[in-house]
Structure 1
């Protein structure tokens, strides 16, 4: 007796290959999903913070521009310039100061809600000075006020002499001068120019508006970013001049000592002040989100592997049991026992194998020949059947969509799509007739659109503008749907598309227009569509044009009008026709 050879059973091979082929994709998809999520979270966080910093910058710019507008009131005040040019003595000088200069300054500081100190230095020394004594105190402590000095007081000041050369209406500078750093203030500096001679304006004074840095940087709040973050402002010398953090102990020295690897740092320049807005987001806060993503991804992978493994065990047991029976019959045949038979329920491949083996037991030699001829004829019949049953491209897409809906358990959408497909083909077949009413033609294209709406949902918008007069006439069937299908196949320009069907009764006949706002076509593409000898594009459009001409004559048919990036309008013309 031959010793029976030991072998690895089909069931184990099937289970292992099944698990191997499914576990690897699950692991790969899990790793890919995790890396994608990490990248997405990092980018989204960075984008959100950039957006917030941009808003803060806009708020700071708004406040600095508001202060700038105060200087504009004085800079472009022609009457003020006229008074400052007049060198009067005594009573006239006093009257000028009282009647116009001081009211102008007072009106300026009251035209803003900011707490400001307005200092105007005038070149005209006949006008008296008006000022306060601070005695080393913060000048903004007493609230908004104005002062008027002679320019001679500051001509030797470095901040005055270093101001850039004057460009009329443009030259300004924000700077911390005098006691500004001590009291956390900042000043806007600007010359006063006399534009009496526009080609050569003369300097008649100097403006200094002092404000609190905290007033301008009120919107710099770490709570707008996220917990644990720090927002701070650096000047052009990289000195930290303002900090917003939930940790009151953070100082400028502490910020400069931080390791850049400990946090995500994002900077936003503030050109108007020559400052930089910086956001430090601790990496451990980001890692918390990434850890949650890692846990969820890992759990999903484990669950998927367990589910697939259990399914693999059941599938391998199911198929291995059938294979074992077949092997048992083949072993009997090998030993010369042709009486053993197989019995399977169903109509799958195993049942065919069982039937073949059973027939083989009846007549081995004849069966081989019969099975060979039968299979050859069957393959030829299947090939002919496939060639004779080529369906429109959209049917394949629709059936694929139906399959996906069934897999994901979206029963209602599945039912709607199957119902829509049945309705479309019921209207398309039309008992074999080629002429249908325009109303049915519109119903047919609506059935097609209903199917596509399930697929594209809110990305596709559709509207009608139908003259009811045309509904009582007939047309060649399937002249509108190919254009809608063509739009959805080729015209997407963005994430959304709008299609509009217009039907009007005109003296020359009935006109249909199918309008979309897609990517459009150039004139060369349109010429190629209607060129029978050209490259094979636009078959559906040319097919509709030929069928209309064949039925109604060369005076009718299809024309296209399109602009790249704007959209396309397909115009169809048919006569007033009622099928008898």
Structure 2
């Protein structure tokens, strides 16, 4: 088992699929064999019961015909007259013999018709009967109705033969006095012809007719006639076969047979069929041979197809494994040319895409690091240049105060604070309060430059005033709102600056009620903002500041901090972004 677990994927798949197909096929073959054998046996039993039902119909037809003949004879006037007289050689005797002879000749299954009269000492037989054991099977000669006798021996012109008879009492049509009875004997030899070919579905078998006490009245085996069923098949008394019809398996020594039976209730007879179990064995052998051949062929075909497909599947996997094992971190991932619409082909395609993507990421990372360094250099330059301007503006501010030029002093002071914040001692981060003050200083300068054109309103959550943020993020957005949202507006507008703390971080928003943007212009601006930072694109006029802020946000806070722009023509524009909360202003915030 350990060797199998540690073996290659191809070996494990081969063994697994072989077991998963061979075991079900073997179980399916076994199930099919037993099912087919059971169905074949049930079919044979049902066929035997159908055959017994057909033979039963023939037996009932014969018995009904015999009873009809007996009714006809009891009402015949010659029979009535003959049985009423005491004279044995009465004129009616010849007419009766002629009538019964014609009946016997027309019905091959009738061997003799006898008339037993109370007024005569000798019965009238159609055939010459020398001796009969009828008296041994009739307990009471005063028959009052009708009955069938059991089997008895009779000697006639045809020699000794077994027979059984139908007896019907005869009463006078004048005064209903009992006159005797009529006996119609059955030709057992002729009746056995109906049992010669039982046709139980397998072509062989035995069929017998049992009397009330289990005596075999007729059948396809002449040597069984008159024998007791219990003597032939011990332990299977017919009295225990409760149902009207049914089947069971009889086992007696080496004798194993399927017994089919059907009772004839009004006659108290039973038709019994016997099917040797050896016939099933031959049929089982054929079914087993056929099932085994099909299952073996299916296993061979399944194994061959599985082996072919396993090799087809594992070959590209082996190539991928070899390529991945030999990867050099300093070299590009080698590509594998394999085209297939299945999952393996998709895996190879994903592997190739992964290699290309890693190559692009490496190139992009190199470019981003280069651009970040360039941005840091530009920021340093912007910090160095305002240093000189800050000193000069500070001097102008004091000269204006001395000269009582308050507006000039206010504007120069705001401009000085503006550049002081830009310098910020070389720090990239500042408290939120300082960023808001920088925007206010910028608005003071712009308000003096563009009087009565806009109002600036602030909504700042006091909980975030001391939290650190990347500097110079809000001023470009306010500048963009003033220049592009307010200058084209005919009346005075308002710019709203808000900063609130949310679950995701701090949300900053700059909203104006200026001219806004039409939808095509907004879509073009958003598309420009969403392009990769390392991709060289032409920046539309007025969007450079937004793109610069967006690029700095993503460089320092990641893609989740990118700008969100919403605008509607003649209604205004809102630009917002979310940055993570940083409690320590000195921690490294760069991504």
Greater CA radius of gyration, 1 or 2?
2
- Report the TM-score, using the length of structure 1 for normalisation: 0.50
